[in-house]
């Protein structure tokens, strides 16, 4: 039996990438589709929530600079993803890259961690989708009487309760969250091209609303709100209506350039999602050209929108107004519109719609990413074979999508959204770290392998970009709260048990065989791999 650190030969991966026929994913996505997938995954509620939070807590108007710093951190990881995705255009993302650079056990670790990013992420976002749907229905109800909100017991987990109109209500099931999971899962089963088209329409709508806010809000910018541009060291604390201090700015990362770095840590997670583009590499028409465009293009588009949005928001309303938790949370943008943009109250409802649309596309891309990771793991024997079976008509991993519909749908319907916490961020950052290190390892172990896209400053002797990507993301992991790290550790330990009880016993590599698809035969040809025995 092979070592648990045996590597999957690169030649095998490239063979899978070039295979055609039944049992392979179809290449239907162009560069535009991939950029839209990235933007769909990145722009969720983060833009509308984290911007005001970062301005109020650390950066002030300098939140625009915080976005730039966070984007630079993402670019390092994005460049590494782009190199791998162009060189190994196959489904699986960080899992696949780790398999050929660091071995099977590390690949399993990252594949297991990606469940936290994609599956738990989709479930958590679907719960937030349910909350914002009710907010939108509330806004519409003020104008249309027959439109009502969904009852509390049908839109909350059984573990939640609250006082509604003077009565204590208990949750029963979160039907809206379950509904959006079911609908998007069925859409993914129908086809990748159809899912990409739906995502593209949603992306156009939500980006249009962001652009309208930027264009309209620019007219209401008060230059005095941008002076000073960074929070001064001696800034007075902010008190709420009861006179209680809710924000103070004495810590090094709460003012000046330190505040810019503190704000970058807050807004960093608004960029999460671009890595999901790499899970669709096996469905890209021209992956060598389109994958770097999709990954880096979506990052560029979102960075520009984030900077402009932050500039307008902190110009329309003073950053200190967002320091009150009652204003600086979910309702921050709507508050700024109602308080400082007279005549445009309708835009507040449009922003709620944009958040709802943003959540929809995030859920879609996360479900798609998870099913593609499961598809690759199942092909390698590390997951049940059913996850790699494609629909006879639609050619999508439908059994994987159905399994996710049940698992993610159950989580969304019956578990509070707060439970997942920052586990999604942990899974994402761990993937960033391993992909960054993988580029350096591959440069050393296989320097002659053709690389259609090469991340700059990443030679075997001077791997600046990979080291910076791994270092920055490691620091972000360490910055997560202790409870999140403990939960993540527990999840990873469970993954170790599953690997040794199931994955290791069923692994194609551990059995001494590798799957080498050919265009001549629709069925996989299996031969021993003596290098890994």
User: Tens digits of per-residue pLDDT, 357-388?
Assistant: 888 888 888 898 889 889 889 988 999 999 98
Mean per-residue pLDDT, 246-260 = 85
CB-count exposure of residue 169 (10 Å: 0-12, 13-18, 19+):
middle
- Where does the pLDDT of residue 528 fall: very low under 50, low under 70, confident under 90, or very high at 90 and above? very low
Distances (CA, A) of 254 to 211, 260, 319, 339, 472: 30, 8, 13, 26, 19
Which of 433, 284, 488 lies closest to 372 in space, CA to CA?
Answer: 284
Spatial contact of 10 and 100, defined as CB atoms under 8 Å apart: yes
How far apart are the C-alpha atoms of 387 and 403, rounded to whole Å? 8
Rounded CA separation 347/357 (Å) = 15
The token pair at 305 is 């929108």
Give pLDDT, residue 530. 41
| Residue 454 CB-half CA count within 13 A | 14
- Specify the pTM: 0.77
Contact of 238 with 324, CB cutoff 8 Å: yes
Give the pairing of strands 238-239 and 245-247: antiparallel
Return the minimum-mean-pLDDT range out of 57-66, 103-112, 239-248, 308-317: 239-248
For 208, residues 6+ apart whose C-beta sits below 8 A from its C-beta are none
Measured CA to CA, the distance from residue 204 to residue 460 in angstroms comes to 41
| Rounded Cα distance, 99 and 184, in Å | 30
Write the CB contacts of 271 (distance below 8 Å, at least 6 apart in sequence): 42, 46, 70, 71, 74, 299, 302, 303
Q: Is residue 178 pLDDT above 50, yes or no?
A: yes
Q: Give residue 351's pLDDT.
A: 84
How far apart are the C-alpha atoms of 442 and 178, rounded to whole Å? Answer: 42
Domain 10-532: CATH superfamily is: Amino acid/polyamine transporter I (1.20.1740.10)
Question: What is the average per-residue pLDDT within 173-191?
Answer: 93
CA atoms within 13 A on the CB side of 13: 26
The per-residue pLDDT for range 389-405, each reduced to its tens digit, is: 888 888 888 999 999 99
**Low-confidence winner among 87-96, 251-260, 302-311, 349-358 (lowest mean pLDDT):** 87-96
In Å, how far from its chain's centre is CA 533?
A: 37
pLDDT higher than 50, residue 532: no
pLDDT of 509 higher than 60? yes
Res. 54: pLDDT tops 60: yes
Tell me, what's the pLDDT at 429? Answer: 81
For residue 228, say if its preceding peptide bond is cis, omega within 30 degrees of 0.
Answer: yes
What is the C-alpha to C-alpha distance for residues 267 and 262, in angstroms, rounded to an integer?
9
β-pairing verdict for 238-239 and 167-170: unpaired
Contacts of 361 (CB under 8 A, 6+ apart): 40, 41, 43, 44, 199, 202, 203, 206
**pLDDT value at position 244?**
77
pLDDT over threshold 90, residue 97: no
Question: Would you give the end-to-end CA distance of the chain in angstroms?
Answer: 6
Among 60-64, 276-280, 284-288, where is mean pLDDT lowest?
A: 276-280
User: Could you tell me how many helices (H) and strands (E) the chain has, helices first?
Assistant: 18, 6
Determine the average pLDDT of the residues in 182-188.
Answer: 93
Q: What is the pLDDT of residue 25?
A: 64
Confidence category of residue 526, pLDDT binned at 50, 70, 90: very low
The tokens describing 33, both together, are 């589709």
pLDDT value at position 65? 94
């Amino acid at each position: 039996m092979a070592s648990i650190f045996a590597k999957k030969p690169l030649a095998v991966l490239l063979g899978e990438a070039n295979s055609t026929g039944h049992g392979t994913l179809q290449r239907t996505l162009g560069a535009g589709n991939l950029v839209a997938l990235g933007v769909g995954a990145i722009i969720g509620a983060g833009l509308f929530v984290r911007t005001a939070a970062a301005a109020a807590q650390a950066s002030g108007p300098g939140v625009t600079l915080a976005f730039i710093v966070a984007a630079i951190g993402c670019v390092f990881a994005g460049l590494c993803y782009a190199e791998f995705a162009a060189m190994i255009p196959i489904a699986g993302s960080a899992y696949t890259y780790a398999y050929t650079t660091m071995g099977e056990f590390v690949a399993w670790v990252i594949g297991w961690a990606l469940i936290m990013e994609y599956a738990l992420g989709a479930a958590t976002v679907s719960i937030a989708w349910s909350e914002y749907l009710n907010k939108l229905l509330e806004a519409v109800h003020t104008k249309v009487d027959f439109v009502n909100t969904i009852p509390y017991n049908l839109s909350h987990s059984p573990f939640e309760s609250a006082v509604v109109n003077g009565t204590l209500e208990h949750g029963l099931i979160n039907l809206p969250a379950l509904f959006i999971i079911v609908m998007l899962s069925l859409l993914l089963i129908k086809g990748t091209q159809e899912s990409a088209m739906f995502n593209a329409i949603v992306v156009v709508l939500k980006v249009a609303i962001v652009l309208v806010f930027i264009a309209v809000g620019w007219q209401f910018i008060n230059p005095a709100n941008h002076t000073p541009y960074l929070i001064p060291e001696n800034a007075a604390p902010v008190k709420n209506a009861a006179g209680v201090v809710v924000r103070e700015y004495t810590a090094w990362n709460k003012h000046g350039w330190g505040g810019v770095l503190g704000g970058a840590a807050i807004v960093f997670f608004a960029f999460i999602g671009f890595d999901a583009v790499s899970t669709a590499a096996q469905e890209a028409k021209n992956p060598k050209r389109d994958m770097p465009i999709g990954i880096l293009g979506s990052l560029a588009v979102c960075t520009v929108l984030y900077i402009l949005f932050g500039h307008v928001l902190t110009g329309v309303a003073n950053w200190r107004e967002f320091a009150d938790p009652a204003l600086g949370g979910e309702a921050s943008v709507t508050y700024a519109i109602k308080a400082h943009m007279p005549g445009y109250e309708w835009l507040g409802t449009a922003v709620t719609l944009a958040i709802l649309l943003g959540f929809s596309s995030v859920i879609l891309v996360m479900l798609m990413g998870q099913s593609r990771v499961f598809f690759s793991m199942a092909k390698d024997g590390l997951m049940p074979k059913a996850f790699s079976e494609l629909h006879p008509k639609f050619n999508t991993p439908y059994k994987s999508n159905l399994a996710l519909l049940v698992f993610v749908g159950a989580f969304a319907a019956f578990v509070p959204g707060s439970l997942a916490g920052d586990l999604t961020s942990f899974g994402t950052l761990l993937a960033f770290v391993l992909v960054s290190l993988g580029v350096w390892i591959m440069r050393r172990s296989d320097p002659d392998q053709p690389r259609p896209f090469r991340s700059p400053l990443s030679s075997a002797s001077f791997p600046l970009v990979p080291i910076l990507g791994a270092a920055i993301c490691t620091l972000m992991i360490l910055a997560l709260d202790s409870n999140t790290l403990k939960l993540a550790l527990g999840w990873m330990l469970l993954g170790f048990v599953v690997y040794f009880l199931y994955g290791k016993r069923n692994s194609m590599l551990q059995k001494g065989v590798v799957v080498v698809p050919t265009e001549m035969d629709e069925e996989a040809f299996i031969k021993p791999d003596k290098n890994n025995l």
